[in-house]
Chain A
């Protein structure tokens, strides 16, 4: 009995290690440091060890919670209908994400909404979708069979699926189980879940070309993905269709959707892609910063300055203490380069 348990335990450990290795390989394959359009750092930073990850749960307001620590922030809406997740964190963190979910509710995961393609936001798609199920019946079950309800639905903008999959006969960058099962190509998609309207809004060509923000109307919470973060300058993934003008348009849209409370504080709460819980005024500060830097670089371009001259002029220097970096996945130089290239890009 002891031997069997040990063997079983060893097997689980080995399987777990294999899963983590595979997950990290996936993360590397779609890693956020592979942002073309800006100078890449000499070597990628060490991938976080999922074994050391701690996932914390913070009640935002209404039906909505924020899960922190699994990579990108995860937004969770809970109720009698089940669980809706916005993003799923890094690969290899799903067990801890599930434990965090179960600390709040025992209801199954029904929906996952991917805000964009990067692996720190979609890495848990497969594991978390399989841990859930979809309420299915009628013609759907009749046509597809009982398996129609075997996992949670994964919703994303169409280009997320395009980038996670591959044409027939080619190797896809992510396993099929992680792919979105439902996509949209319209400006927005609406759901009604757990007694509230859930508005999924596409922001074109911003952080990537497949960004969505999610507005939980009754709870009054917006989940922004990486269009808004609090810990660095916005990442503009130009290789995947990102553009600084789209980032600014997205920030303006979030500000427009949100309603502040008295003294411009509270009211609609904002879950950023990374960093702390926010409200509209935090987005306003960030939007002002990004817009001011965009305008400075545009002025330098208008004066005929080259990219190297713009970098040397340090157009971000007054914001660098707060958002700048000289190393890591997104340096200040990479941001300036991405803004410059966004503004000089010829369509």
Chain B
């Protein structure tokens, strides 16, 4: 009887140990992940409207760059194949593949590698504690990333970023920004929280989350990019609006019935209580709908 009880206890202990899993509870994000574009669809796929700075904690300098930005800038050959930055890449047409690199002898995790469909971007997140490069080293679209575990969350710190955008309508993110990312896997769902810190153009950290769904049948297509001369321009011409001359800025607030003052963005427009303040703001007349064709 005593022996039977001992065996049962040992069996229970073994079962519990197997169920409990590794002590650190790290949840491996490896796999094929498909985006869900209904999340912020308007901003992501049709693209943000000119002059829509809502919810962005920007300063006046960032706002002026947005106001003077001309979309024709993207058409210049040198800009046509420009990739998204690490903090924005999750928001592109981003089917993602994540896999880990492990030292064969020790089985220690060296790095996570990530491939993003948009612009064929390949990223490495070093997990082996290596230092970041010196300040005179190159900056890249995806920067230099190191990661560690915070419970079951993969936490990433990135610096050495090239200049990029916070929103794809001319609102800049500087090359002095750093990015903190937290990758959380819940079974077949992956949530990525990205926090951008930009001492030059943001007055507060900018936080954005993006979700993905596990898709083991996903086949990511290549994304070749070759720039061409689309418009015959004088050499060195840079399309831009002169300050105070961009007549498109009012279209967004008029179209959506949003006070123009709110469309200018700023840290307070990130918070729900700002909607109370908006009630007292003036609106622009809505444009008349176009006649049926």
Contacts and interface: CB of A to CB of B under 8 A. Distances in A.
- Interface residue SS majority, chain B: loop
Contacts of B82: 263-264, 281
A285 B238 contact: no
B242 interface: yes
Contacts of A66: 136
Nearest to A324: B61
A276 B64 contact: no
A322 B176 contact: yes
A56 B78 contact: no
Contact of B79 (A264, A269, A296): A264
B136 A68 contact: yes
Interface in B214-259: 225, 227, 235-238, 240, 242-243
A320 B65 CA distance: 11
Interface stretch (B32-40, B137-145, B149-157, B273-281): B137-145
B161 to A, nearest CB: 12
Nearest to A276: B136
A281 B78 contact: yes
Interface residues of B, number: 41
Contacts of A7: none
A288 B82 CA distance: 14
B283 interface: no
Contacts of B110: none
B68 A277 contact: no
Interface in B62-84: 62, 64-65, 68, 73, 78-83
Interface string A294-335: 011001000000000000000101111110000000000000
A263 B242 CA distance: 29
B200 A322 contact: yes
Interface residues of A, number: 40
Most buried by B among A66, A249, A318: A318
A278 interface: yes
Given A260-B81, A263-B121, A291 B64 contact: no
Most buried by A among B78, B119, B135, B139: B78
Contacts of B243: 296, 315
A318 B140 CA distance: 22
- Interface residue SS majority, chain A: helix
Given A255-B78, A262-B120, A292-B240, A276 B139 contact: yes
B163 interface: yes
Contacts of A56: 134, 136
A263 B240 contact: no
B174 interface: yes
Contacts of B135: 276
Given A275-B136, A282-B139, A295 B242 contact: yes
A284 B78 contact: yes
A11 interface: no
Contacts of B176: 322
Given A255-B78, A288-B238, A321 B136 contact: no
A81 B163 CA distance: 39
A287 B76 CA distance: 13
B120 A291 contact: no
Given A263-B119, A264-B82, 17 more contacts: A256-B235, A263-B81, A263-B121, A264-B80, A264-B81, A276-B138, A277-B137, A278-B138, A278-B139, A279-B138, A284-B78, A285-B162, A291-B237, A291-B238, A295-B242, A296-B242, A322-B175
29 contacts: A56-B136, A58-B134, A58-B137, A249-B236, A252-B236, A260-B78, A262-B120, A262-B225, A263-B83, A263-B119, A264-B79, A264-B80, A269-B138, A276-B135, A278-B138, A281-B78, A284-B79, A285-B163, A287-B236, A288-B238, A292-B240, A295-B242, A318-B65, A319-B61, A319-B65, A321-B59, A321-B174, A322-B174, A322-B200
Interface of A: 56, 58, 66, 68, 248-249, 251-252, 255-256, 260, 262-265, 269, 275-282, 284-285, 287-288, 291-292, 295-296, 299, 315, 317-322
